[in-house]
Structure 1
Amino acid sequence: MAGRGRVRGSGVPGLCLVLVLLAGLSLVGCGGRPTTGTAKADVQRVLDRRAAAVLHHDAGAYAATGTSEGYADVRALPLAAWSYRVTAVRRDGDTVTADAELSYRIRGYDRAPVTVGRTLRLARDAAGRWGVTSEEPAKKAGEQLWDQGVVTVVRGEHSLVLGAGQPAARLRAFADLADGAVPAVSAAWGTDWAGHVVVLVPKSLDGMAGLLGSPASSYRGIAAVTTGETGGGTRTPADRVVVNPDAYALLGTVGRQVVLTHETTHVATRAHTNAATPLWLSEGYADWVGYRETGRTPRQVAPELQNAVTEGRVPAGLPTDADFGFSGDAARLARAYEGGWLACRMIADRWGEVKLDAFYRAVGAHEKRTGAVEGALKSVLGTSLPEFTAHWRTYLRDQLA
């Protein structure tokens, strides 16, 4: 039972047993300090109580486990689960630094727990009780939205928008966009996915970078990204669409909807996207869904590639994964996205939308990159990679020249 235990003394005749009845008290032998193993168990009990307080919205119980800092930041989250697992402790007298895994689920959205690394510091009071003094992301782990301030929650029909440092009215606008994206994605891809999306809106580009655990320079000019929290497969919890509010503010009405629809497509196709899927297909398909009902022409959507084609620089092959890197070469990155979009658009035009979806799924079913595209081209489209590439190059000239 939590808060109860016994330890043996050592170095003195006989046994010295101390039974601790009060939850949270350290378990110590006669005249000794807690061992590392005992301290780890004590910290785990404190964090179990702290997690229960978060889950049940009990501010008083949370405060009883240490600092109240952070409670207000997470209070609005609609949680189905929240727990810590202590993996290591480093004790220095009456203070402890603990490494822990925080697992949580957003109610109605996460199919499996999202697990993130956290570092907590605790101190013992005069009565021997441990209390949390601070909590932060573990080294090399990304921030969570609540690390950036109080989380505001806005619910849409098909979406949950979580913001930090953003007014509710702006979050409502994102919910409206996401609510438009979900049915658009289902119309193109089908309904064999969750049918809803979680959108995170930090205060700034720096906040976005913090959530993704990467330098801000990696995402400057990128309006949003989607990140799978626990790897691929059908048990993946709802992906988070992470918005760059600085870049998003520069988009027009159509652009904002295209971006949310593009990212929502990644959420829908996650279970069929893996190491076998080249970026030209995953990004191209997401753009194809995003632009599908906009009426935008290839010349409007692919200006960088149009410039290359009209100058006689038709790409020799489909975009590589490296072409999609955030290397600072904006024109190269744009051409990669445009080329992938036009490849998917060509499949839809030449073979039909049903075949495009089947091709995407067939590539992902291969699970390994080698032979995946080639096999799907043969089995679904009845062509080879050289023939497909030649058709694509001709399509570029026809659509962009």
Structure 2
Amino acid sequence: MPRGRPLARVLPLLLCVLLSACGTAGAPRGDTAERAVRQAVADWSRTPPGRLSGIPLEGWSYEVGPVRRDGARAATVRAELRYRLAGYDSAPAGSARELSLAEEGGRWRVTADRPAPGALPQLWDQGAVTAARGAHSLVLGGEGQSPGTLAAIAAEADRAVPAVSSAWPRAWAGRVVVLVPGSLERMAGLLGRPADAYRGLGAVTTGQVGPGPAPADRVVVNPEAYPELSEQGRRIVLTHEVTHVATRAATSATTPLWLSEGFADWAAYRDSSTTPAQGAPALARAVRRGELPAGLPATEDFAFGGDPEAAARAYEGAWLACRLIAEKWGEAGLVRLYEAAGREPLPNALAQTLGTDLDTLTRTWRESLRGELG
């Protein structure tokens, strides 16, 4: 993510739900009350909450775990919620839930459905959800977000998707889901970190990396910082984040963070006239002070919630490294390097795709920084 927008590679988040039969753990199946409780959960799953109206659901399902009786007329159920956004999710996502039930007049019914202890909430746990659709995007707004705001973000996402497809000429879904929580605090709640960790960031991306179907790639917009960006800033932010969605399957634990973040910035700036000095002001200041980086940014350099100037230098340096590779070895070479670096160690990937080594790349990058920013 540009300028201190770390990729949250974690935690499929959000909303909506997919329905099927209940599971089997818990008390003996012969227990009549337990069977009635499980049936009540199945009945509950057939009708999405009203706050999800307008969301393109394919259904939802709860896989019920243990049933705990809380007296003769109350019970608590742990369940795994499975859900899919129709047309957007390639695989079901999961959410750990805790349901409370009560027996009234000989019938069990669900009285509460909430995140299980320690589990992250879904957007719909925070209130009513509103949807806006674009040609390549689905924007889901939390409570308090206006239809106009969501429509504008959908239009911006629609511009980002083709730009990303041009920069990343590999197969990907070509569509994106964007979440706009009702506040910074609610954004932090969805992501499971303190609000200060995201203050000032325009957006982050969540999802699982690696090949194969993965549920719930989401771009999560900071409802406080994003509106403060210029039109170009919003375009850069969304294009960067959508790039992370597009390259997810080619990204793995072996992909250097400077390459994944730098590639996303390269894709975002690719069609702009932004110069290195304009796009890398923090790094330019450091180079002019004689503080030329000794090496390509390390993983810890991208930490957010710390020194924002240091994080900015890391993102800027990563962008300029990928920009250099695209100019010297061609855009196709940069794409091939990204793919190879997700499969094997970087030295091997560099040798196979660019015919160079890390020392040579680092030296060339440092020379370019001195020439362009000094």
Work out whether residues 79 and 106 of structure 1, in 8 Å CA contact, stay in contact via their aligned partners in 2.
Answer: yes
Query: Are 1:274 and 2:252 matched, yes or no?
Result: yes
Q: Secondary structure at the match of 1:234?
A: coil
Q: Which residue of 2 aligns with 1:144?
A: 122
Q: Residue 348 of structure 1 is aligned with which of 326, 334, 350?
A: 326
Higher alpha-carbon deviation: 323-332 or 168-177? 323-332
* Cα gap change, 1:343 to 1:141, in 2 (>3 Å): same
Alignment of 1:199-348 (within 5 A): 199-228=178-207, 230=208, 232-348=210-326
In the TM superposition, residue 313 of structure 1 has moved relative to its aligned partner by 0.4
Q: Residue 97 of structure 1 is aligned with which of 64, 73, 76?
A: 76
* Cα gap change, 1:116 to 1:91, in 2 (>3 Å): same
Query: Are 1:385 and 2:363 matched, yes or no?
Result: no
Deviations 1:249-269 (A, max 9, x none): 211000001100000000100
In the TM superposition, residue 231 of structure 1 has moved relative to its aligned partner by 5.2
Higher alpha-carbon deviation: 99-108 or 86-95? 86-95
* Cα gap change, 1:173 to 1:357, in 2 (>3 Å): same
Q: Residue 168 of structure 1 is aligned with which of 147, 153, 172?
A: 147
Q: Secondary structure at the match of 1:322?
A: helix
Work out whether residues 109 and 237 of structure 1, in 8 Å CA contact, stay in contact via their aligned partners in 2.
Answer: no
Q: Which has the larger radius of gyration?
A: 1
In the TM superposition, residue 91 of structure 1 has moved relative to its aligned partner by 1.6
Q: Which residue of 1 aligns with 2:340?
A: 362
* Runs of 5+ unmatched residues, structure 2: 1-25
Q: Could you tell me the TM-score, scaled by structure 1's length?
A: 0.83
Higher alpha-carbon deviation: 130-139 or 174-183? 130-139
Higher alpha-carbon deviation: 377-386 or 38-47? 38-47
Q: Residue 47 of structure 2 is aligned with which of 53, 69, 88?
A: 53
In the TM superposition, residue 199 of structure 1 has moved relative to its aligned partner by 0.3
Work out whether residues 209 and 249 of structure 2, in 8 Å CA contact, stay in contact via their aligned partners in 1.
Answer: no
Work out whether residues 93 and 216 of structure 2, in 8 Å CA contact, stay in contact via their aligned partners in 1.
Answer: no
Work out whether residues 40 and 88 of structure 1, in 8 Å CA contact, stay in contact via their aligned partners in 2.
Answer: no
Q: Could you tell me the TM-score, scaled by structure 2's length?
A: 0.89
Percent pairwise identity: 54
RMSD of Structure 2 on Structure 1 (CA)? 1.5
In the TM superposition, residue 98 of structure 1 has moved relative to its aligned partner by 1.3
The structure, 1 or 2, with the larger RCO (C-alpha pairs under 8 Å, 6+ apart) is: 2
For residues 40 and 223 of structure 1, the distance between their equivalents in structure 2, rounded to whole angstroms, comes to 47
Deviations 1:17-37 (A, max 9, x none): xxxxxxxxxxxxxxxxx9565
Q: Residue 195 of structure 1 is aligned with which of 165, 168, 174?
A: 174
Q: Could you tell me which amino acid in structure 2 is paired with residue 391 of structure 1?
A: T
Q: Could you tell me which amino acid in structure 2 is paired with residue 150 of structure 1?
A: A
For residues 352 and 198 of structure 2, the distance between their equivalents in structure 1, rounded to whole angstroms, comes to 37
Q: Secondary structure at the match of 2:82?
A: strand
Work out whether residues 81 and 95 of structure 2, in 8 Å CA contact, stay in contact via their aligned partners in 1.
Answer: yes
* Cα gap change, 1:158 to 1:313, in 2 (>3 Å): same
* Cα gap change, 1:231 to 1:47, in 2 (>3 Å): farther
Q: Which residue of 1 aligns with 2:369?
A: 396
Work out whether residues 226 and 263 of structure 1, in 8 Å CA contact, stay in contact via their aligned partners in 2.
Answer: yes
Q: Which residue of 2 aligns with 1:183?
A: 162
Work out whether residues 140 and 213 of structure 1, in 8 Å CA contact, stay in contact via their aligned partners in 2.
Answer: no
- Count of residue pairs the alignment pairs up: 345
* Runs of 5+ unmatched residues, structure 1: 1-33, 55-70, 367-371
